[in-house]
Structure 1
Amino acid sequence: MDEHGHVWLLGRLDRQFKIRGQRIDPEEIEVTLRQHPAIGAVAVTAQSVNNPSSDTTPTDREIIAWAVPSHDPLPSDEALRQWLHERLPAAWLPSRWVRLEALPLNANGKTDWTALTRMAREMPAPGISPGAPDTVADPGNEHTRPQETAIRGTNTANAAVPPFEDRDDLVDFLYTCWSELLERDDIDTDRSFFDYGGHSMLTVKLHERLEQATGLTLPIGEIFGHPTLDAMADYLLEQITTRNATP
């Protein structure tokens, strides 16, 4: 309220944002990451990304961690993710990690969030192969860009029902589904679909493909209950085995 009695609605004064309905506090992620002995400085931002399932659906968001090593090379993305997962909820884990020589600063010597936003927009789309753990990005416009790699597998959207003879066939099929829906090829079999940016629209599309490919009637909630490739392959194998054993 000003001296004239007018109330001004300025919006949120913090940096919190929502991703898939969950409110995320980037400052808490930063405070936690600064406790890692290999991290000297860090900034956390959210960047809008195109929904790969539609040209008209509103964009989703991903969390990006911009990290400066203290003295030693930073651990791998997966090692950092696992370390952070022991301290924060899964929804708060960054989906992308960018190594910097230094955080960009504004004229006041504070983190230049505008520069980070510009750098995020210029980054390659999710789905490229991750660089080496000690890859360093420059806080200007010239940051390291790993080479894109071809997505393994063929398009499964209209594929015929494949003959799943064993668990490996299921894992390969699931890998291809995830790669196409998430538009990335850096997928680990023990990491959650939602860690990679899976959201409600993609969950529905994945559910449709699973039912079409297996001929099973699957509750969509099983995707949330078995969010990794390993867990979903085990679940589908059990369901297929039970169905085939039924007279």
Structure 2
Amino acid sequence: ALARHDGVAQAAVVPRADDSGDTRLFAYVVPARQPETDQDTADRPEPAALREFLLRSLPEHLVPAAFVVLDALPVTPNGKLDRRALPAPDFAGREVGRGPRDPREAALCRIFAEVLGLPGVGIDDGFFDLGGHSLMATRLISRVRATFGVDLAIRDLFGTPTVAGLVRVLDRAGDTRRQPVVRTRRPERVP
């Protein structure tokens, strides 16, 4: 499906275990047009656009967690894909986007980073673009519930996968906070 994208000449999707032991799909793509200089990135397909393209035809769990753009796919002497030579996605070495503007954004950035296992996350960084998947999404939603007392639906995260977007969702949730469960005494006799 990825090779059908206009901006992709070659593609390979391979499963890899991440640092937490979860197996995730990672995509390696060669752009249809090679940039003329190292600074020329106009012809490089954007991971968010590739993800959106795949979501039109594949279920979410089959969409790769990360996209790595390469000049060429490594091959063995037999001409087959050399999976061992494929670089691991570098989430930690990427530049963090805009920083948080208020305490809620700071708390959400911290939660995103902890769930994703990254040193930092900007408010415009996409959860799924950073390697998040549906299991991590449920962990994130649980942490948001514990921190803010608000029940997010998984569709909220899929619809607005950034810290800035989720703050707006939390604003709309307003006073729909879950009431804490209060422990009561059990009666002496239970019928």
What TM-score results when the alignment is normalised by the length of structure 1? 0.52
**Residue 9 of structure 2 corresponds to residue 75 of structure 1:** no
Query: Aligned pair in 2 of structure 1 residues 151, 81: CA closer, same or farther (>3 Å)?
Result: same
1:92 match: 62
Query: Aligned pair in 2 of structure 1 residues 85, 191: CA closer, same or farther (>3 Å)?
Result: farther
Q: Which amino acid aligns with 1:99?
A: V
Q: CA deviation at 1:44?
A: 0.9
Query: Aligned pair in 2 of structure 1 residues 198, 79: CA closer, same or farther (>3 Å)?
Result: closer
Whole-angstrom CA distance in 2 between matches of 1:175 and 1:115: 33
Q: Which amino acid aligns with 1:177?
A: I
2:117 aligned residue (167, 183, 187): 183
Note if contact 1:93-1:195 (Cα within 8 Å) is conserved in structure 2: no
Whole-angstrom CA distance in 2 between matches of 1:178 and 1:83: 24
2:167 match: 233
2:93 aligned residue (128, 138, 150): 128
Whole-angstrom CA distance in 1 between matches of 2:13 and 2:110: 30
Note if contact 1:177-1:206 (Cα within 8 Å) is conserved in structure 2: no
C-alpha distance after superposition, 1:220-247 (max 9, x if no partner): xx3423213456434433444356xxxx
C-alpha distance after superposition, 1:193-214 (max 9, x if no partner): 697324547734652x434433
C-alpha distance after superposition, 1:11-52 (max 9, x if no partner): xxxxxxxxxxxxxxxxxxxxx12112221111111111122x
**Residue 22 of structure 2 corresponds to residue 60 of structure 1:** yes
Q: Which amino acid aligns with 1:203?
A: T
1:196 match: 131
Identity %: 26
C-alpha distance after superposition, 1:97-150 (max 9, x if no partner): 22222211222222222333xx33xx54x3432xxxxxxxxxxxxxxxxxx669
Whole-angstrom CA distance in 2 between matches of 1:81 and 1:201: 17
Q: Secondary structure at the match of 1:173?
A: helix
C-alpha distance after superposition, 1:43-70 (max 9, x if no partner): 111111122xxxxxxx112221111122
Note if contact 2:25-2:64 (Cα within 8 Å) is conserved in structure 1: yes
Whole-angstrom CA distance in 1 between matches of 2:123 and 2:144: 19
What TM-score results when the alignment is normalised by the length of structure 2? 0.65
1:33 match: 2
Q: State the Cα RMSD in Å.
A: 3.5
Whole-angstrom CA distance in 2 between matches of 1:86 and 1:50: 29
Query: Aligned pair in 2 of structure 1 residues 65, 152: CA closer, same or farther (>3 Å)?
Result: same
2:13 match: 44
Count of aligned residue pairs for this structure pair: 164
